[in-house]
């Protein structure tokens, strides 16, 4: 596993509170129990950057992390499994839509899905909104350490078919499987082209 320097910048809800758009950003999204915090910690080389809670739905803000000198990760509130009320869920949705719509330095989104789950309406809505504003999405099938190769390959095929997304990657934060490859993918396909385009302006 690569070792990265992660720096927590701030948490925010409203656009006026976002950090300055000095780096290109990659969003981490998914259900509240999909393993977003574990993934971020694994990407950070095992550092306890993001809090892993026993209560899904703990993250209620956008959390911004600078990674080395290269890019920024944005951890988003989970959806679907949270026990919070409808009004609060609606406010989260508005927060995410504001961020996606207004953040010109956003260059991609990582959508985490437990490999045992089907592709459902929440995932479809997220990806439809991302496509509408031109943000590429890669799907990360999480918790593959809990399955065998046959099950994982079946899940991979199923999610690719259901989501109509080609970029689907099996990962395990616990077993540190696929983390480096995942970062290499989004860095080479999203960050580098964005940096190149920015330098040519």
Q: State the pLDDT at residue 1.
A: 61
- Contacts with 68 (C-beta within 8 Å, 6 or more apart), sequence order: 4, 5
**pLDDT band for position 198 (50/70/90)?**
confident
Q: State the pLDDT at residue 52.
A: 52
Locus of tokens 């960050």: 191
| Ordered domains of the chain (ranges, CATH) | 6-199 (3.40.50.300)
Share the mean pLDDT of the chain: 86
Give the predicted TM-score (pTM) of the model: 0.89
pLDDT mean over 1-24: 89
Q: State the pLDDT at residue 46.
A: 72
Q: State the pLDDT at residue 107.
A: 95
Q: State the pLDDT at residue 55.
A: 43
Q: How far apart are CA 53 and CA 63, in angstroms?
A: 15
- Which tokens hold the place of 143? 């918790």
**pLDDT band for position 85 (50/70/90)?**
low
Q: State the pLDDT at residue 54.
A: 44
> How many CB atoms are located within 10 Å of the residue 14 CB?
10
- pLDDT tens, residue by residue, 70-82: 899 999 887 754 4
């Amino acid at each position: 596993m690569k070792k990265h320097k992660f720096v927590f910048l701030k948490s925010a809800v409203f656009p006026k509170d976002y950090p300055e758009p000095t780096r290109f950003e990659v969003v981490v999204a998914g259900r509240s129990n999909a393993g977003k915090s574990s993934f971020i910690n694994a990407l950070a080389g095992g550092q306890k950057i993001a809090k892993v809670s026993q209560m899904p739905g703990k993250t209620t803000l956008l959390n911004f992390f600078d990674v080395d000198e290269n890019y920024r990760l944005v951890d988003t509130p989970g959806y679907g499994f949270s026990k919070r009320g409808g009004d609060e869920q609606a406010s989260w949705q508005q927060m995410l839509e504001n961020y996606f719509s207004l953040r010109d330095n956003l260059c991609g989104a990582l959508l985490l899905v437990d490999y045992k789950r089907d592709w459902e309406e929440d995932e479809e809505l997220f990806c439809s909104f991302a496509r509408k504003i031109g943000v590429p999405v890669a799907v990360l099938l999480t918790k593959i350490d809990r399955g065998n190769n046959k099950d994982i390959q079946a899940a991979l095929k199923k999610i690719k078919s259901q989501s109509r997304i080609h970029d689907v990657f099996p990962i395990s934060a616990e077993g540190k499987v696929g983390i480096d490859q995942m970062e290499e993918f989004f860095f080479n396909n999203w960050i580098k082209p964005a940096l190149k385009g920015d330098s040519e302006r």
